[in-house]
Copies of this chain bind each other. A is one copy, B any other.
């Protein structure tokens, strides 16, 4: 009865379509792939059979033949971090526009998993890789990437062995420089950076700026606390900083998850922002604007990072040369920064 007997019936293959249309297998393939040299009659016969059988092409078989899986892997330390989630969204949307699907692999910040995921993705024959490695200094990860001979785009990561690869980089130095200079302008003399994992680019860049701007200034003390991009590290490091006899007058927070921990430590120490302590954070967090005071932020556009990463990867897959793109960061000052007492 129903013109489209999909319910219950096993999925029809191209062979059945060919039989029903009374044509050769290859003709069906031609029609479906939009080959130009096909007669109207043929086109219609095939189309009818396809509709009647509810035929859907098997991408797996297509991939097997053509070598392209139309799939891209995204290796990321933790997709639940809003920063990465937004990057992932930006990338997925762009990739899908071009017919690619995005496969996710969380490394949970364990470099060993990064390497394994890269190999696994290779086994799955992904056409490209978006890489936000947990540790860009980890030999095994870097080697796994270098050996994979798959088109790759590094997402805010870099490594000497990976120098030839495409990459989207955030210009952390710009926003961070504005932030530090803002503090210096307010005459802060003890500035601390509660940084994330120093084995990835954003943390390195942020630390570099603080060092550069405070070097050769005996009046200014810079303190650096490296660790991981977690609330726990933020809380511990900040508590330690604040417990010093000469505690910093300003703290810069190197990542959104760290901020939660830092705020806990500040609360626990009973200090007020900006009276007792000036505060700046890196990367936007939804409610930061409603804190009292709102927190000054070194910001960037994660969705755009993802979109550009996808763009670069598509280019690479299409055979273009590797390209590096740097995206801007900005600094938004607020009343969370004031002159120290």
Contact = CB atoms under 8 A, between A and B. Distances in A.
Interface in A162-187: none
Given A60-B60, A125-B59, A290 B263 contact: yes
Contact of A85 (B80, B102, B257, B286): B80
B125 A60 contact: yes
Interface stretch (A25-33, A104-112, A198-206, A237-245): A104-112
A10 B102 CA distance: 25
Contacts of A288: 287
> Looking at chain A, what size class is its interface with the partner chain?
35 or more
Interface stretch (A88-96, A152-160, A207-215, A246-254): A88-96
A60 B64 contact: yes
A60 B58 contact: no
A326 B78 CA distance: 26
A1 interface: no
B85 A124 contact: no
B285 A71 contact: no
Interface in A7-62: 7, 56-61
A147 interface: yes
A122 interface: yes
A43 to B, nearest CB: 21
Nearest to A89: B80
Nearest to A287: B287
Interface class of chain A by DSSP? helix
B64 A93 contact: no
A303 B80 contact: yes
A89 B106 contact: yes
A108 B82 CA distance: 16
B290 A147 contact: no
Given A80-B82, A303-B80, A103 B103 contact: yes
A6 interface: yes
B58 A123 contact: yes
B287 A263 contact: yes
B286 A123 contact: no
A324 interface: no
Nearest to A81: B85
Contact of A80 (B56, B88, B108, B123): B88
A287 B303 contact: no
Interface string A107-136: 010000000000110111100000000000
